[in-house]
Amino acid sequence: MLERLPEFLSNHPILTGALLAVVGMILFTEFRRLTRKYRTLSPSEAVRVINQDDSLVLDVREDNEIASGRIGGAKHIPVGSLQKRMDDIAQYKDKPVVVYCRSGNRSATAASQLTSAGFQDVVNLQGGIQAWQSAGMPIKKK
């Protein structure tokens, strides 16, 4: 059966290319996951970090998304402004920083930016504020 594999691969270049692309994406994603310098925690695990003294909760959503509610005590800096405003949160470089957005994607970008800037204990809230609300955690509207 394996002796026919080269024939199959040469007869189906599109399938072969698609297979290689998918395998490449999987390997790239896993490599990035294993080499990232921040943690990803569920809402219940993140609560333990948030309850520590001197931790920072950082909301990186856009201004128009804040009206739907936020985690109490969170500092708001949109992800697009984070690089310019690192000095605003520099006192938290050696303290826990929990970053969140709507679904967890933009906060992963922000978490990478923070670790690159020298922040030592960065946590990305898995699933963002949507997961927070789904877990029945409180939000503050205002």
The residue ranges of the chain whose pLDDT is under 70 are 142
User: Which among 101, 108, 123, 131 is annotated as catalytic?
Assistant: 101
3-state class percentages of the chain: helix first, strand second, coil last, to nearest 5? 55, 15, 30
pLDDT value, residue 97: 97
* CA distance readout (Å), 117 to 5, 55, 60, 75, 84: 48, 17, 16, 18, 11
Phi–psi pair at 131, nearest 5 degrees: -70, -35
CATH topology of domain 38-134: Oxidized Rhodanese; domain 1 (3.40.250)
Extents of the domains making up the chain: 2-34, 38-134
Tokens read off for 28:
């790239």
* pTM (predicted TM-score): 0.79
Phi–psi pair at 59, nearest 5 degrees: -95, 115
Active site residue 101: yes
pLDDT value, residue 52: 81
pLDDT value, residue 34: 77
| 3-state SS class at 110 | helix
DSSP H helices in the chain: 5-11, 13-35, 43-50, 105-116, 128-134
pLDDT value, residue 33: 72
pLDDT value, residue 13: 94
Residues of the chain with pLDDT > 70: what percent? 99
pLDDT value, residue 75: 96
